[in-house]
Amino acid sequence: MAHRLTRFYTWCAHAAVPELERLATTISTWWPCIETFLHTGITNAASEGYNRVVKLDARNAYGYRNPDNQRLRTRCATTRRARGRLNPA
């Protein structure tokens, strides 16, 4: 695998295309995480997705009246089974 990665980096460098050079730099930076995924198949995609939904909900709300409302809206946005059945009490 290492020789293929080296060939890819060399190819990107000789292509003299800024986008390919940036791609090679990005892959070099993230290579330990990419390699871990290739070996284990485990990602943090679910937690990143929930984080995106929570941030989007907070941006759309422009602030909540109290922390309980914020917690309930966030839970509603991130859980399918609880939608429509949240009880603030």
C-alpha–C-alpha distance, residues 13 and 24, integer Å: 8
pLDDT value at position 82? 52
The candidate with the shortest Cα–Cα distance to 25, out of 13, 34, 16, is 13
Q: 10-residue block means of pLDDT along the chain (89 residues)?
A: 89 92 94 92 87 80 72 77 56
Strand locations in the chain (E): none
| 83, part of any domain | no
Residue with tokens 């989007």: 56
| Contact (Cβ atoms closer than 8 angstroms) between residue 88 and residue 72 | yes
How many domains does the chain fold into?
2
Name the residue range of residue 71's domain. Answer: 45-78
| 71, part of any domain | yes
Q: What is the pTM of this model?
A: 0.54
